[in-house]
Amino acid sequence: MNQELLLGLYVLMLTIFLGFEVISRVPTLLHTPLMSGTNAIHGIVLLGGILVAGTAENTLTLLLGLLGCLFGAGNLFGGIVVTDRMLEMFKKKEPAATAAEAPAPAAVREKEVVGQR
């Protein structure tokens, strides 16, 4: 096997194990803010996929670049959706309308109009 490919596979294996260990130790409450922070990383993955696909010299490299683009874009936009949902949780809810502020039913308004004539 090519020495460079072997080194690349070794680095990939180490990053997978490291990522799994780091993510598994994150408390549940921090997963959504962590997803928000990793949107930049997914953007870099997307950019890397574009660069690899753009400079591809063979079919395998082109396929890997396109897969990088696909997965990077999916993670990026998924992270944006999750972040938006997280921020929605912190918005203040509108108070419920009181009886004085609530619009009167049509029957009550009709009686008021008839009584005024």
Is residue 38 a part of any domain in this protein? yes
Is residue 69 a part of any domain in this protein? yes
- Give the predicted TM-score (pTM) of the model: 0.52
Is residue 13 a part of any domain in this protein? no
**% of the chain beyond a pLDDT of 70:** 77
Closest CA to 88 of 29, 43, 32: 32
Is residue 60 a part of any domain in this protein? yes
Is residue 18 a part of any domain in this protein? no
Is residue 54 a part of any domain in this protein? yes
Domain count, the chain: 1
Is residue 99 a part of any domain in this protein? no
Q: Could you tell me where the DSSP H helices lie in the chain? A: 3-24, 31-37, 39-54, 59-89, 106-116
- pLDDT at position 11 is 93
Is residue 17 a part of any domain in this protein? no
Mean pLDDT of 110-117: 56
pLDDT digits (tens, 9 = 90+) for 34-82: 766 777 778 888 898 899 899 989 999 999 899 989 988 988 888 788 7
Tell me the residue range of the domain where 79 lies. 32-88
